[in-house]
Amino acid sequence: MKNSIYSEEHRIFRDAFRKFIAREVAPHLGAWEEEGTVPRHMWTRMGEQGFLCPWVDEAYGGLSADFAYSIIINEELGKIGAQGFMVGLHSDIVAPYINSLGTEPQKKKWLPGAVTGEILMAVAMTEPNAGSDLQGIRTKAVKDGNNWVINGQKTFISLGENCDLVIVACITDPDAPNPSKGMSLIVVEDGTKGFSKGPRLKKMGMKMSDTNELIFEDCRVPLDHLLGTENMGFAYLIQQLQRERLICSIYAQTASEAMLEMTVKYCQEREAFGVPIGRLQHNTFKLAEMATEVDIGRNYLDSLLTRHMEKKAIMKEVSMAKWWLAETANRIAYTCVQLHGGYGYMEEYPICRWYRDVRVMAIFAGTTEIMKQIIGKKIGF
């Protein structure tokens, strides 16, 4: 590892985590795909080993570790095709909302369970009629005595079935000049009356990730479940997107690296016309092109991870990385399946699953088109 953000302690941690997932995660990926979910005991196993939310302060049960530990966890899971485990979502996308916006009682109530895996966390933004356009959400929360009363529906919610807690984006001021000025984040716990989970959604890929609709029908939660300041929810979501898109970029980059590695090996072993297929000039060129893109992607991503850890604002660059690395992963998936030939279309070959799984990377956490809009604004349009 050449990246300067890593110390000897990081290397020891990576080695330990790599051994753990080789033993307890990788052998079960196929079964989890079939089941459409990751068993709950795996989350508590991760928590027992200190592999969930390692950045959380020791006062709440964490390790007070830096972001490099999160990078390592997400990279190593990405390398074996376990993005659907959604550890990054729980640990590095949702839990930080509680940490950065929560009151002291909220942190004490929810963060320790996030660290142990006893409280799984999800975030609910997307709605049937509001995806990339967050200002189009219709879920509303109104005050009634000591409670918020929430009505609305969310969809495509990862960890939607197994979550114990969900952060819900709601309109709390319908008279605001625009929805972004009247949106709040409210925490809803599983089992709350009026909160229900729809059937597990059937997806093209990422099948081990339980994904559901969430329904709120006169769902009453205490007023103190508000995260941060009322009507500031949209601003909070925007603030968190840099880290979220970095996590997605890690998944895309590690997917490209893994797919290239398995395809190079296949092209060295598979023969056609009396030679390994990788030696056929066209195939050699394709492999060379992919190797170049993967190397460029890794160097760019590592530079952004370093700058993020230096607490620099890199929303434009992260948007660039998110769309380019996701689209690169999709191009590489297509080419790798093609190089595998008919075997690439068979479920028994890992590249088949990778091909399905990477497709969503250009969609979730902001589509490629939204990323380009953000970049356009940042450069003056």
List the catalytic residues: 244
Alpha-carbon distance of 195 to 80, in angstroms, equals 35
Distance CA 380, CA 368 (A): 19
Whether the CB-CB separation of 294 and 331 falls below 8 Å is answered with no
CB 55 within 8 Å of CB 64: yes
Question: In what helix (H) or strand (E) does residue 86 lie, and over which residues does it extend?
Answer: none
**Can you tell me whether residue 165 is helix, strand or coil?**
strand
CA distance 346 to 348: 5
The three-state secondary structure class of 218 is strand
Tally of CB atoms within 10 A around 129: 11
> How far apart are the C-alpha atoms of 86 and 77, rounded to whole Å?
9
**Can you tell me the distance from the alpha carbon of 151 to that of 195, in angstroms, rounded to the nearest whole number?**
9
Provide the Cα torsion 346, 347, 348, 353; round to 10°.
120
β-strands 121-124, 165-171 pairing? parallel
What's the chain's Rg over C-alpha atoms? Answer: 21
